[in-house]
Amino acid sequence: MTLVPHFVAGRKTPGDSGRTQDVFNPVEGEVSAQVPLATAEEVAQAVTAAEEAFPAWSGLNAQRRARILLKWVDLITENMDELATLLSNEHGKTFPDAKGDIQRGVEVVEFAAGAPHLLKGEFSSGAGTGIDVHSLRQPLGVVAGITPFNFPAMIPLWKAGIALAAGNTFVLKPSERDPSVPVRLAELAVEAGMPAGALNVVHGDKTAVDALIEDPRVRAIGFVGSSPIAQSIYSAAAAQNKRAQCFGGAKNHMVIMPDADLEQAADALIGAAFGSAGERCMAISVAVPVGEATADRLRALLEERIATLTLGPSLEPSSDFGPVVSAQAKERIESYIAAGEKEGAELVVDGRGATVDGHPNGFWVGATLFDHVTTDMSIYREEIFGPVLCIARAADYEEALRLPSEHEYGNGVAIFTRDGDTARDFTTRVEVGMVGVNVPIPVPIAYYTFGGWKASGFGDLNQHGTDGLKFYTKTKTVTTRWPSGTKEGASFVMPAGS
């Protein structure tokens, strides 16, 4: 059985905990590898490796670090097909979608290579008589990322790329469900010229997470996962006086106005709801058509499109989407479908019992569509994280605006309309962190920040963009005065600014 190793101090290591977890190929429903689950001591060894690498890595000027990051980008691009195949085989998303996962991560590393400019401090000459003031942005030291299964390349690259550009060293605890890509990325980082120990990967469960939180040498924690765990890690990190940037669940809505191009809106919904089998934190899971005529027409268009979707193997070019990541995920999603039916929603298309020829044991869940979903139903309130789309009809614009604004989650939302005034009002008033106008999955580009509101995000700084660099640096302000030769004697008054 293949073992996916840890990667510590520039070397692969199998670990010695004696505890492992199976890694599945979700298309076949079979174990493809095992991953070791680190002990607290093994996590400490990874932190030590990062701590020892910090002086050399932070001692490089930002431009030299940037060159290594750009070489890393080149190597990731050269090995894109290999990485995407690894990703597809462990996650289940299609090969083109896997390449997109990697590319969106690469774009943030490319942004981070601008650190020589982005890390510049401020300077004020003559802030007082003979006094200058300037600020420095300095790395924190060793920082850690705890990342989810659904983007095994993108989110590790988002976190590590920014942190490393700022001069920190990094310990990554990726999902144990699809661990191979993070290890390969760390190998390529060393090949690019990053010192051994600058980027480390340790696999594990709660034991490893707790060890990262409790180790005083780890100065910041970045997390993406479910909201309860995000809040728990945020609180635990704060209690340890660590910075924390923790992102949780989502229930992303898409409002469809009567004036929208409904064909375009239906196409957008199909891709946003069922791409990657719905296992995206930015997937659209609630469609909110305004008015009965809009809802009826939209539903008909969605039914037509769902009937043509191809559920199939991840590496098969004809597949629109592949399996979900695990048997447990399949069971959970199907339990939500049963609950929605029991609670009174109209099950228009049922994805349970989906099969794919030649792959009888795969973790298949077909595209599922509910209509007449109400806000008291579990399929509306809770994150399903699967290929399930709910239609929640709104009588008018104000009701449509309230639905995402009043939901527990505030990650992403979209509106489809031809009316600029409506779009402007919506983007201003909706209580959600990321908004799309005729864009179904409003994931910001690398030089803007990514993050949700309410139960979708804990912490005051978001991922990538300039927020990422602020999160991974500390500011030092220096006030300078050079003696003029004139003795002034002691002063007992708080000095003024001028």
Which residues are known to be catalytic? 281
Dist CA 334 CA 350 (whole Å): 9
Dist CA 150 CA 120 (whole Å): 34
Residue 103 to residues 80, 81, 98, 157, 359, Cα–Cα distance (Å): 9, 11, 9, 10, 29
Handedness of CA 54, 57, 60, 61 (dihedral sign): negative
Quick one: residue 479, left, alpha or beta (phi over 0 = left, psi -120 to 50 = alpha)?
beta
Dist CA 106 CA 445 (whole Å): 11
Residue 13 and residue 20 in contact, taking contact as beta carbons nearer than 8 Å? no
Dist CA 213 CA 237 (whole Å): 6
Dist CA 299 CA 348 (whole Å): 9
Six-digit token pair at 333?
């999603």
Pairing of strands 218-224, 30-36: unpaired
Six-digit token pair at 498?
């001028």
Q: Which helix (H) or strand (E) holds 35?
A: strand 30-36
Dist CA 232 CA 187 (whole Å): 31
Residue with tokens 């609950």: 339
Strands of 11-13's sheet in order across: 11-13, 6-8, 199-201, 169-173, 142-146, 218-224, 243-247, 457-458
Concatenated DSSP letters of 208-227: HHHHHHH-TTEEEEEEES-H
* Contact partners, residue 251, CB within 8 Å, separation at least 6: 285, 286, 380, 381, 382, 383, 407, 408, 409, 411
Concatenated DSSP letters of 209-277: HHHHHH-TTEEEEEEES-HHHHHHHHHHHHHTT-EEEEE----EEEEE-TTS-HHHHHHHHHHHHHGGG
Q: Which helix (H) or strand (E) holds 137?
A: strand 131-139
Give 122-129 contacts, CB < 8 A, sequence gap 24+.
Answer: 127/479, 127/497, 127/498, 128/481, 128/495, 128/496, 128/497, 128/498, 129/498
Q: Which of 340, 367, 364 has the alpha carbon at shortest distance from 351?
A: 367
DSSP letter at 99 equals H
